[in-house]
Amino acid sequence: MASTITKTPPKARPKHLDLFSIRLPLPGILSIMHRISGAALFLFLPLLLWLLDRSLDTEIGYDQVRSYMSLWIVKIVLIGLLYGFMHHFCAGIRYLFLDMHKGIDLPQARMSAAIVYFVSIPLTVIAAWLLFF
């Protein structure tokens, strides 16, 4: 703790934050998607709680929720949220493995990111199919 620290004047670090010219690698896209999907699920919590509340409360409420769910705008929002959930779920499991230092070298990390994309779409399709048909 008693070591002397020689201070150098802070140099302006080179910054490059032009988001439109940075080509984000696949794990990077996954990372920002994880954040966007999480924020979207957060913002739509009241809608989901409301649908759950109404559908469990009374039979009339249940029928109401069923009829709302036949509207295309509700369908699109729910399918979007289902995809957000599946993506967040799969990417989250990947992050848990990365936290345990499993699959942290670049080829493996790229491969697992690709798997997350590859798996979350069919999962969404299956869940949406079961929900609406």
Partner 1 sequence: MTTNRIIVGAHYGLRDWLGQRVTAVLMALYAILLAVVLLVKKPGDYLAWFNVFSPIWMKVATLVFLASLFYHAWVGMRDIWMDYVKPTGVRLVLEVLTIVYLVACGMWALKIFV
Nearer to partner 1, 25 or 92 (CB): 92
By the criterion CB under 8 A, which residues form the site for partner 1?
35, 38-39, 41-42, 45-46, 49, 52-53, 55-56, 59, 62-63, 89, 92-93, 96, 99, 130
Q: How many CB atoms lie within 10 A of CB 131?
A: 12
Question: Least distance to partner 1 from the beta carbon of 59, Å?
Answer: 4
Question: Least distance to partner 1 from the beta carbon of 111, Å?
Answer: 21
Alpha carbon distance 44, 36 (integer Å):
12
Question: Least distance to partner 1 from the beta carbon of 67, Å?
Answer: 13
* Matching residue, tokens 């109404």: 54
Query: What is the DSSP code (8-state) at residue 20?
Result: T
Decide: residue 59, CB within 10 A, 0-12 exposed, 13-18 middle, 19+ buried: exposed
Alpha carbon distance 47, 79 (integer Å):
13
Nearer to partner 1, 68 or 89 (CB): 89
Question: Least distance to partner 1 from the beta carbon of 123, Å?
Answer: 10
Nearer to partner 1, 28 or 63 (CB): 63
Nearer to partner 1, 39 or 114 (CB): 39
Give the helix ranges, DSSP H, for the chain.
26-43, 45-57, 59-68, 72-99, 106-132
